[in-house]
Structure formats: C-alpha cells, structure tokens
Amino acid sequence: MARPLFTLVTAAALALLVVTACTSDNEEDSLPQPTPQPQQCDVSNVTFSKTITPILSANCYTCHSSSFSEGGVVLDTHAGVKKQADNGTLLGVITHASGFPAMPQGAAKLSDCNIARIKKWIEAGAPDN
C-alpha cells in the first residue's frame, strides 16, 4: 500500500516542479518591465519659458507679480525669479524646508514633478531660456 502512495507523492512533487519551472520560464520570456514609477516625470528639456513660467503663473502670480508682490517677491520676470533661485529661497519655499515660509501660501504644495523640474532648472543656473 505504501508504494502507490509514494508514487503519487513523487508524481505530485514532479508536477509541482514542472509548474514552478514553467512559471519562471514565463517570467524570463516576458518583456522587461519598466521600473515602476508612481507617475512619469519628464525633467528633460526644462526651460524657463516653457516649463517654469507656466508653473509659477498657475501657482504664484496672484501674490508675486510685478504689479502686486507679496514680500517684495516678483515672480513674473526672469530677473525676479532668478534672484530667489540663486539665493536658495525659491527651492526652500516650494519644498517647505524649515526656515522658509511654505509656498504657495495657503494652497497645496506643488507636485513632486513640478518641484523636480524647478530644482533641475535652478541646478542648471536658472537660465533665461
């Protein structure tokens, strides 16, 4: 009686092996998956006119324009933004770093992607491009 049972167990074990082998084969055959990212963020080709201006216009101009500048901060000219970028204040306020007033004031923090874009532009020297 022990022998048929043994055979059955062996067969089951072999079947399991085959299934496992097939599964890993399938994984190897499938196309390489891109690194999972919560959201795609394109930080290539970041420019002042095409990338930075729209972000600031949508989130900051209401309080920081040439005609109405809270704290004397003007963000609708390149010179005004560069001044805040070069001294580290711009990155400080948008990342809500300690020691800086969190911006945009009274509104949600900018998206991680927009912060990454602004950071990239600052690191590039805050060019007027």
Q: Which amino acid is at 2?
A: A
Give the whole-angstrom CA distance, residue 41 versus residue 116: 8
Compose the 28-67 pattern: x for residues touching ligand HEC by CB under 6 A, - for all others.
-------------------------------xx-xxx---
Q: Least distance to ligand HEC from the beta carbon of 124, Å?
A: 17
Closest CB to ligand HEC among residues 73, 126: 73
- The Cβ of residue 85 has, within 10 Å, a number of other Cβ atoms equal to 21
Give the whole-angstrom CA distance, residue 80 versus residue 106: 22
Torsion-angle region of 126 (φ positive above 0: left; ψ -120 to 50: alpha; else: beta): left
Compose the 95-114 pattern: x for residues touching ligand HEC by CB under 6 A, - for all others.
-----xx-xxxxx--x----
Q: Least distance to ligand HEC from the beta carbon of 41, Å?
A: 17
